[in-house]
Amino acid sequence: MYTIYGSSRKGNSEWLGVHALEGIPHESVDLANLMIQPVEDRRHHGGFLPIGDDYRRIVEQMLQHEDIVFITPIYWYSMSTKMKLFIDRFSESLRDEDLRFRERMQGKRFHLIAVGGDDPKVKGQALVMQFEHIAEFLGARLETAILAEGNAPGDVAHDQEALTEIDAFRQKMSEVYV
Ligand SMILES: Cc1cc2nc3c(=O)[nH]c(=O)nc-3n(C[C@H](O)[C@H](O)[C@H](O)COP(=O)(O)O)c2cc1C
């Protein structure tokens, strides 16, 4: 199980992610601590050039897992900038023959945990749909989508509905991994 944290701070989404994975063996990465450059679309101009940042190492780690948990704050009704930078680079990986990215993504299970301050259970549906499309395009499947409410750090601890969904997720994952 691989968890990817996408916030720019130690806040609600991280708190929820840690809570969701308590006691479950997993590997995790916090994108805030890493350098991931924006994708440069060279698909029709000679192919992608290697970029010497942290992306390749992270994607290699991710590909070794069947369950991938994307944990992000909602920024402007979408995922965080860091998360989007990471996912944009999948286009580069799709053309990377050594990586066999598309082949290795087949059948992977995606899980989305997102926190927002502006009616996320309704307005976060666009983000859920976005992850469904991303998963489908890659041959994976979005198995879980949890939208939680919180603005200041710590707020999310009061979203009882989300906490119930997080507990159910942890229970389900512990049956697979513990
Ligand atoms: C740049 C920025 C954009 C935001 N846009 C939204 C938004 O579109 N919808 C929403 O519900 N909350 C939005 N928020 C609020 C955050 O999602 C909210 O504070 C969340 O708890 C942050 O998660 P974190 O503590 O894990 O960083 C935004 C916050 C920032 C800093």
Q: Which amino acid is at 88?
A: D
Residue 9 to residue 25: CA distance in whole angstroms: 24
In a domain, 14, yes or no: yes
In a domain, 94, yes or no: yes
Distance 116 CA to ligand 1 centre (A): 5
By percentage, how much of the chain surpasses pLDDT 70? Answer: 100
Q: Which residues pair with 141 in a beta bridge?
A: 109
Residue range of the domain that includes 29? 2-36+50-173
Q: Which of 154, 170, 176, 169 is nearest to 66 (CA)?
A: 176
In a domain, 164, yes or no: yes
The CATH number of whichever domain residue 28 belongs to comes to: 3.40.50.360
HSE at residue 124, side-chain half, CA atoms within 13 A, is: 22
pLDDT tens digits for range 6-44: 999 999 999 999 999 999 999 999 999 999 999 999 999
Give me the number of domains the chain comprises: 1
Q: What is the mean pLDDT of residues 142-151?
A: 98
Distance 152 CA to ligand 1 centre (A): 9
In a domain, 42, yes or no: no
In a domain, 135, yes or no: yes
Q: What count of other Cβ atoms lies within 10 Å of the Cβ of residue 76?
A: 8
Q: Which of 19, 176, 21, 12 is nearest to 3 (CA)?
A: 21
In a domain, 41, yes or no: no
Residue nearest to atom 2 of ligand 1 (CA): 75
* Ligand 1 probe mutation, 115, 119, 127, 130, most atoms within 8 A of CB: 115
In a domain, 45, yes or no: no
CB 118 within 8 A of CB 127: no
Residue 176, Cβ density class (10 Å: 0-12 exposed, 13-18 middle, ≥19 buried): exposed
Question: Is 130 near ligand 1, meaning CB less than 6 Å away?
Answer: no
Can you tell me whether residue 136 is helix, strand or coil?
A: helix
In a domain, 66, yes or no: yes
Q: What is the pTM of this model?
A: 0.98
pLDDT tens digits for range 40-77: 999 999 999 989 999 999 999 999 999 999 999 999 99
CB 150 within 8 A of CB 114: no
Ramachandran assignment for 76, one of left (phi > 0), alpha (psi -120 to 50 degrees), beta (any other)? left
pLDDT at 7: 98
Q: What are the φ and ψ backbone dihedral angles of 47, each rounded to 5 degrees?
A: 95, 165
Q: Locate all alpha helices (DSSP H) within 73-159, ordered by sequence.
A: 81-88, 90-93, 101-105, 120-123, 125-138
